[in-house]
Amino acid sequence: MSDEPILQARGVFKSYQKNRVEVPVLRGIDLDIHAGEVTALVGRSGSGKSTLMHLMATLDQPDKGEIFYRGQRIDNASWKERDAFRNQQIGVIFQFYHLLPELSAIENVLAPAMIAQSTWSYFFNRKEARRQAEAMLDRVGLLHRATHKPGEMSGGEMQRAAIARALMTRPSLLLADEPTGNLDTDTGLEVLKLLRGLNVDDGLSIVMITHDESIAAGADRTWKMKDGRVVDDRIAQVA
């Protein structure tokens, strides 16, 4: 495993306005995500782990502090650069899958490719994109459900479709926000197995947010968060 950090947070502060009262969520986070590792971010709800993930995904900007991706600062980049970064460099999956209900599984997987390209260039590359999306669905074992709408799929299938979508643009980092939080134990384990497989086979770096210590135990590295701070940094046993 390489020790080179793919993502770094330095002194990150973030607070939200709630009824004119400033609620601090992150109070100075320093942490490194190492390439090729599965990193678990553990903490109780309200500890700020989701907020941290949003900052890492550049969906939000920190009040103070810096975030680096491969040594390059990304938190203060322009909208356009951040949009491209989200599209190209990282994949995001959520507890509630967030598939677009109007689109079928394969169309959902194709969405990042469509977003990445202009209508013209997508039109000329559509066969290639489709082939790739089918490969992704195959990789997550969902090819037989390609034309199904999210409403016709089970939770585990939806999460696997979401993973395929996140991987469509071949990112180097996958951010997963409670990927198993809405699944039963067995299905959750399947999804975790899939993620681990992606990590091992493709060298994908994964950041997994969870409140479940047992899931965190399966990670290469675990960061524990409490009240907006990283409280414990221990290297987990490599399973």
Partner 1 sequence: MYRWMLCFRYLRTRYIALASIVSVTLGVATLIIVNSVMAGFAAEMHERLHGLASDILIECHASGGLPDPDGNLDEIRSVLGDRLEGSSVSVHVPGMLGIEFNGQLITRHVNLVGIDAETYDTVSQFGQFLLHPANQKKVDFELKETGFAPDREGFPVSGWAYRRQRVAYDQALDLERQRVESALRRARGEVSAPDAASEGPSMKMDFGGSMFADKNGDGPKVFDPSIEQFPGIVLGISTCSSRLRDQDGKVADHYYCRPGDDIRMMFPNASDNTKVVNQKFTVVDLYESGMSEYDSTFAFVRLDQLQEFRGMIDPSSGMRSVTAIQLKLKPGSDLNVARDDLRRRFPPDRYALNIQTWRDMQGPLLAAVRLETTILNILLFLIIAVAGFGILATFFMIVVEKTRDIGTLKALGASSTGVMSIFLSYGVLLGIVGSVVGMVGGLVFIKYINNIAAIIEDITGQEVFDPTVYYFNSIPTIIDPWTIFWVVLGSIAIATMASVLPSLRAARMHPVRSLRFE
User: Which residues contact partner 1 by CB under 8 A?
Assistant: 51, 54, 57, 59-60, 79-80, 83-88, 92, 94, 98-103, 107, 111-112, 114-119, 122-123, 165, 169
CA distance 86 to 189: 27
- Which tokens in the block code for residue 181? 């939080």
When the beta carbons of 131 and 193 are compared against partner 1, the nearer one is: 131
Rounded CA separation 63/114 (Å): 32
DSSP reduced 3-state for 92: strand
Q: Which is nearer to partner 1, 15 or 196 (CB)?
A: 15
Q: How far is the CB of 200 from partner 1 (least distance, A)?
A: 25
* Min separation Cβ 147 and partner 1, Å: 14
Least Å distance, CB 111 to partner 1, is 5
Nearer to partner 1, 60 or 66 (CB): 60
Which 3-state string (H, E, C) describes 133-184? HHHHHHHCCCHHHCCCCHHHCCHHHHHHHHHHHHHCCCCCEEEEECCCCCCC
Q: How far apart are CA 142 and CA 70, in angstroms?
A: 32
For partner 1, the closer CB: 20 or 80 = 80
Q: Which is nearer to partner 1, 175 or 192 (CB)?
A: 175
Contact between residue 35 and residue 221 where contact means Cβ atoms under 8 Å apart: no
Which residues have a Cβ under 8 Å from the Cβ of 234 and sit 6 or more positions away?
222, 224
Whole-number minimum distance, CB 205 to partner 1, in Å? 18
Rounded-to-5 percentages of helix, strand, coil across the chain: 40, 30, 30
Shortest CB 232 distance to partner 1, Å: 26
Nearer to partner 1 by C-beta: 123 or 213? 123
Q: How far is the CB of 186 from partner 1 (least distance, A)?
A: 27
Cα 85 to chain centroid distance, Å, stands at 13
Q: Find the shortest distance in angstroms from Cβ 100 to partner 1.
A: 5
User: Which is nearer to partner 1, 100 or 200 (by Cβ)?
Assistant: 100
Contact 180, 173 (CB under 8 A): no
